Structure 1
Amino acid sequence: MNAQALSASSSSAPLVITRDMIARLDVAGPRYTSYPTADRFVEAFGAPQYRQALAQRAHGAGAVGGGAQPLSVYVHIPFCESVCYYCACNKVVTRHHERAIEYLEALYREIDLHVEVLGRGQSLSQLHLGGGTPTFLTDEQIEQLLNKLQSAFRFVPGGEYSIEIDPRTVDAERLGRLWAMGFNRISLGVQDFDPQVQQAVHRVQSFESVAGLMDAARKVGFESINMDLIYGLPRQTSESFARTLAQVTQLRPERVALYAYAHLPQRFKPQRRIDAKLLPPPVDKIGMLSAAIEHFREAGYDYIGMDHFALPSDPLAVAKRQGRLHRNFQGYSTQPDSDLIGLGVSAIGRIGPHYTQNAKTLDEYYDTLGRGEFPIVRGLTLSRDDLVRRAVIMAIMCQGRVDIESIELAYLIDFRQYFAQEIEQLEPLVEKGLVVMEPDGVRVSPLGWYFVRAIAMVFDRHLQADKVVERFSRII
């Protein structure tokens, strides 16, 4: 590695990332799966406000058959048999599988509450089961949950119906059953194939076992396989991560989600088991990201942005080329900017201009549903300014470009006047080659994609107002 700079290839010219740039821009900041971010949610928004938001969808343009965008639904299954030390998810570590019975009963009550307000048969085009470990449930329990959802919503043909899978919990037979239930996409949590890294994060699974599962999934007929990777893990080196990248492209998943490890042991107890001295320094982390982008591009993948890669034929890559890429609480998405219903403990959702989050503990989740109430404990109704800034930030995160005229026409503002302060704050990023100011827009440069969160942060009014960023992960 060059002592002064790291280089990465792009489709045109080499990209040079200096150590000084890393030092200045490797700050804590949001991932912008939403704007405003979830830390801005308030307890003043609760179950009554959520019920009203659902009713507005049901009785307005969102009435069944009324032409509303189909729903997305996320279901959070919190249970895991063992803890992965890097994990920052809301989870319950247990080997007592009978605990899932009570949880599913609560989920069914939550689904019924939505049917009471929305009516039965709202269109649904995207379903994702996440966690935790959704495959902690038995096949019978997963099928029962799907049947319940299908009785409440109308699943649109050709939709995306996906489930996160811990490779240690499934075999070829289970994959066949999941396909038969109606899932057409799976996401495999791999993180890293290096044995020493796996031991350091308490998640051991062989390359051979994952390769066998992917072969079985393709034989069954799964349309898309996503693989999750993490860079910046303990004992990871540039050399070991390069081997993992080679193994991943050998398996050729349709999508790859590459996340930077966020070490926040003060917030996430499992991370306290990680020795911070074993974590690679920021300069090595950016080297891993650079190597990954170059490696996947050479292997024929499109760089979707920030943390996603996809084969050119995958709908995610197609949506990026066509300017239809979106971002929601689950990351990048091909679905239109649709409402998202979050089911389960800690699940986050969005209905119109309203964000919501469920109770974070099982006890509170069960207790609220036992009283016949939605388990919403906090949320937010977006202001007009929030909506304008959300449009700008999502354009940066998804398309890498803000079209000034489009924003002005949609929100009836003078962009240069409204964002005069932000345009001034972009100047240092322009000088560094991260942003290009065009006559009709603001464009993220190829180099800027490495620091796209820092560019989006300029337009975050809440963040700029209080400057408190310690609660977020670092952007590299």
Structure 2
Amino acid sequence: MQDDLVKRLSSPVPRYTSYPTAPHFNDSIGTEVYADWLGLLGRDNRLSLYAHIPYCDRLCWFCACHTKQTLRYEPIEAYLKGLHAEIAAVGARVSRDAPVTALHFGGGSPTLLRPQDMIALKHCLAQNFAFASDAEISVEMDPNDLDEARHDALSEIGMTRASLGIQDFDPKVQKAINRIQTFEQTRGVVEAARARGVRSVNCDILYGLPYQTMETLAETVRAVITLAPDRIALFGYAHVPWMKKHQTMIDEAVLPGIVARFHQMTMAAEMLVAVGYEAIGIDHFALPADRLALAARQGTLRRNFQGYTDDQADALIGLGASSIGQLPQGYIQNMPATGEYLRRVEEDGLAAVRGYALTEEDRARAFVIERVMCDFGFAFADLPSAFRRTIRAEATGFAAADRDGLCRIDGERFLLTPAGRPFARTVAAVFDAHLASGRGRHSIAV
């Protein structure tokens, strides 16, 4: 019966790292609007920064990020020059009274940067924004890029959280996804980061990969546990070859089916919980003392374009090609193509090409969807009064029609049941007023 349920509820839906989701962004929101929004950020707004490095020295076939392969450093140097210029242009429009409480370097492979360029990039950010003394600085790391000089540079920029993509340690799986990375390499990176004072380590594991079985995934999970990461993200591989052409290098015939994926996810989650990790949302796990676990217990867990976070900033500013920002007024995205991004930055300083201005109904539904994804429920009393009746009717109507035991109404709260939690994306979609009119295609829900 559970397998039948998985098949019925696995229809593609958004991952809901925003609402409305990116396919609903439009080009009526550009640099002029973005400049106005930036100018309204002041001392009452805490800021989070995201800096995107869209380059790798190899392409992993599973990856759905905005990145490109290069074996030459010259394109990276040119890109960094433009990124510095955008940082200066954005910083000039934001009040220096607005403190930066978090900075995340993502990609691509930020650790591909030369040590002096890592340091120069952080220096540029510090020159143009006011960093809080306790700001969290996280970096996505590829163990294949790292050496002692880069580890030292990461220490110099003040990295507080290291995020390592592992995916799977099985050689056959690694070959199929073009991601060769040994356990010994990974352990060395974790030890080097901790030796330099990094207080938080995150590891990413993927299920649903080609040739992956319950046994091979279990071996990977056991190996990751020995590293004692503070956080673990357990993501389902999103096969979207219509969007990322390099994913056509993966043979669909050797991908686990929907039911097999679900059992892989369930097994890995049970293994992590059994050794003391707390389940966070639909795909994260954290040790009890980790800030993400504390946020989940306190009801302050958030969800943004980086996934689950304890970041309580009022605005997320995206820097670099394709990066997305989330400001009080709405969303903004930079030009994805690096060449065009650089041209726009050179001409105008900003490179925003599309976005979305939130309505009051959008805010109400964004709140509901975020709480479903983070807390597996919400209280009707927390809804804005103007939309409380409408959303309550949708919630009670869905619960009344639910024959699968996914949710229930508990007094003045809408709650997912334990059986419904793995399908939180599907339940969240019930409250998505834009989904039916969307042009985007999404990955399967489990």
Once the two structures are TM-superposed, the CA of residue 160 in structure 1 deviates from its matched residue by 1.3
Distance in 2, Cα, partners of 1:296 & 1:136: 31
User: In 1, are the aligned partners of 2:364 and 2:387 still within 8 Å (CA)?
Assistant: no
Distance in 2, Cα, partners of 1:268 & 1:95: 20
Residue 396 of structure 2 is matched in structure 1 by: 423
Distance in 2, Cα, partners of 1:194 & 1:427: 45
3-state SS, counterpart of residue 101 of structure 2: strand
Distance in 1, Cα, partners of 2:434 & 2:44: 34
Instruction: State yes or no: 1:107 paired with 2:100.
Output: no
Distance in 2, Cα, partners of 1:150 & 1:417: 45
1:67 to 24, 32, 44: 44
User: In 1, are the aligned partners of 2:111 and 2:150 still within 8 Å (CA)?
Assistant: no
2:179 to 193, 203, 223: 203
Residue 385 of structure 1 is matched in structure 2 by: 361
Instruction: State yes or no: 1:412 paired with 2:389.
Output: no
1:441 to 391, 394, 413: 413
User: In 2, are the aligned partners of 1:172 and 1:217 still within 8 Å (CA)?
Assistant: no
Once the two structures are TM-superposed, the CA of residue 191 in structure 1 deviates from its matched residue by 0.5
Equivalences for residues 311-390 of structure 1 within 5 A: 311-390=287-366
3-state SS, counterpart of residue 374 of structure 1: coil
User: In 2, are the aligned partners of 1:172 and 1:213 still within 8 Å (CA)?
Assistant: no
Residue 475 of structure 1 is matched in structure 2 by: 445
Residue 39 of structure 1 is matched in structure 2 by: 23
Once the two structures are TM-superposed, the CA of residue 422 in structure 1 deviates from its matched residue by 4.4
Residue 23 of structure 1 is matched in structure 2 by: 7
Residue 432 of structure 1 is matched in structure 2 by: 404
3-state SS, counterpart of residue 461 of structure 1: coil
Q: Note the alpha carbon deviations across 1:21-62, whole angstroms, 9 max, x for none.
A: 0111001011111000011000111111111111222xxxx2
Distance in 1, Cα, partners of 2:53 & 2:243: 21
Output the aligned Cα RMSD: 1.5
Q: Note the alpha carbon deviations across 1:447-472, whole angstroms, 9 max, x for none.
A: 22211101100000011x33x57611
Distance in 1, Cα, partners of 2:11 & 2:440: 9
Distance in 1, Cα, partners of 2:93 & 2:135: 24
User: In 2, are the aligned partners of 1:28 and 1:469 still within 8 Å (CA)?
Assistant: no
Q: Percent identity?
A: 39
TM-score, structure 1 as length reference: 0.91
Q: Note the alpha carbon deviations across 1:153-191, whole angstroms, 9 max, x for none.
A: 121122210100001111345323312221111101110
TM-score, structure 2 as length reference: 0.97
User: In 1, are the aligned partners of 2:23 and 2:439 still within 8 Å (CA)?
Assistant: no
Once the two structures are TM-superposed, the CA of residue 329 in structure 1 deviates from its matched residue by 1.0
Q: Which amino acid aligns with 2:411?
A: P
Q: Which amino acid aligns with 1:471?
A: R
Residue 34 of structure 2 is matched in structure 1 by: 50
Q: Note the alpha carbon deviations across 1:301-336, whole angstroms, 9 max, x for none.
A: 000011111100100000100111111111111111
Residue 8 of structure 1 is matched in structure 2 by: none
1:265 to 241, 249, 267: 241
User: In 1, are the aligned partners of 2:394 and 2:431 still within 8 Å (CA)?
Assistant: no
Once the two structures are TM-superposed, the CA of residue 130 in structure 1 deviates from its matched residue by 0.3
Distance in 2, Cα, partners of 1:317 & 1:367: 42
Q: Note the alpha carbon deviations across 1:340-375, whole angstroms, 9 max, x for none.
A: 000000000011121000001012101111112410
User: In 2, are the aligned partners of 1:416 and 1:423 still within 8 Å (CA)?
Assistant: no
User: In 1, are the aligned partners of 2:239 and 2:247 still within 8 Å (CA)?
Assistant: yes
Which ranges of structure 1 fall in alignment gaps of 5 or more residues?
A: 6-17
> How many residues were matched structurally?
446
User: In 2, are the aligned partners of 1:192 and 1:241 still within 8 Å (CA)?
Assistant: yes
Distance in 1, Cα, partners of 2:337 & 2:192: 36
Which ranges of structure 2 fall in alignment gaps of 5 or more residues?
A: none
Residue 137 of structure 1 is matched in structure 2 by: 113
Q: 1:35 to 1:239 in 2, by over 3 A?
A: same
User: In 2, are the aligned partners of 1:130 and 1:163 still within 8 Å (CA)?
Assistant: yes
Q: Which amino acid aligns with 1:413?
A: A
Q: Note the alpha carbon deviations across 1:401-434, whole angstroms, 9 max, x for none.
A: 2011121xxx2236244442443134344x3222
Residue 302 of structure 1 is matched in structure 2 by: 278
